[in-house]
Amino acid sequence: MYQKQIEQLVVLQTVDDEILLLEVEIRQAPLELSELEGRLAQLKERQAQVQERIDLLKTQQKRLEGEIEDDGHKIKKSKNKLMAVGNTKEYHAMMREMDSMEKLNRLREEERIAVMEEFTRQDTAMQELAAEVDGLMEGYDAKKATLDERVAKAQSRLDSLAKRRTKAGKVVPPPILGRYEFIRSRIVHPVIVSVTEGICGGCHIRIPPQSFNELQKGKQILGCPNCQRIIFWVEHSPTIQD
């Protein structure tokens, strides 16, 4: 009976260790997606900023083209009027006005070219962002499918382990099971360890000779006087099957 209890305690520990790992994996899986979602959100925010800049540039370009066209008409009209000027004073005044309009028009044309160049840069940036978003989305979809599968497998394994834990717990007397749970909640893994040549496998301190003698008899579940872990003689090591 002692051997069976030791065996089931080791089973419990093995099961509980795997359960902890699976629970960590299940918790981590959504975080991996959250990281990708955060990067996607940043890219889309940059896309919105670039699009806002592009829209502004389009408005500027349309305004400048309209102003350039209007000034062209005005200059043409002024040239026609210039032919009908009757005196030198009026002629020079109209020439100054035309020079001023032509200078303003050249400045607007330079501004229009600069706007077009900036538009080209922003459009290229938008295309690069779109390609980056598409690539990230593809990776996101692939990872989501993989993670969903991983979580499903982990959950299935957890369900199987829960049944195995319940089965193992039925073999161990309630006081000993309660002691196992109590120790597990308070000390660093592992809870149940073997003793080799009188040395506890948990704290690596020699147990008292009398305790070692009792342990070798294999009659009752004992604990290490130093670290309080449940101990068994290495010669009584159970054979665990999945």
Sketch the domain layout of the chain as residue ranges.
23-162, 175-236
Helix, strand, coil percentages (3-state) for the chain, rounded to 5, are: 80, 5, 15
State the fold for domain 23-162: Helix Hairpins (1.10.287)
- Stretch 69-77: mean pLDDT, rounded? 85
Asked whether residue 201 carries a pLDDT value surpassing 70, the answer given is yes
Asked whether residue 68 carries a pLDDT value surpassing 70, the answer given is yes
The average confidence (pLDDT) of the chain is 87
DSSP state of 13: H
* pLDDT confidence bin for 241, thresholds 50/70/90: low
Residues β-bridged to residue 206? 199
Query: How many angstroms separate the CA atoms of 17 and 230, rounded?
Result: 16
Asked whether residue 178 carries a pLDDT value surpassing 80, the answer given is yes
The reply to whether the predicted model has a pTM over 0.75 is no
Asked whether residue 84 carries a pLDDT value surpassing 60, the answer given is yes
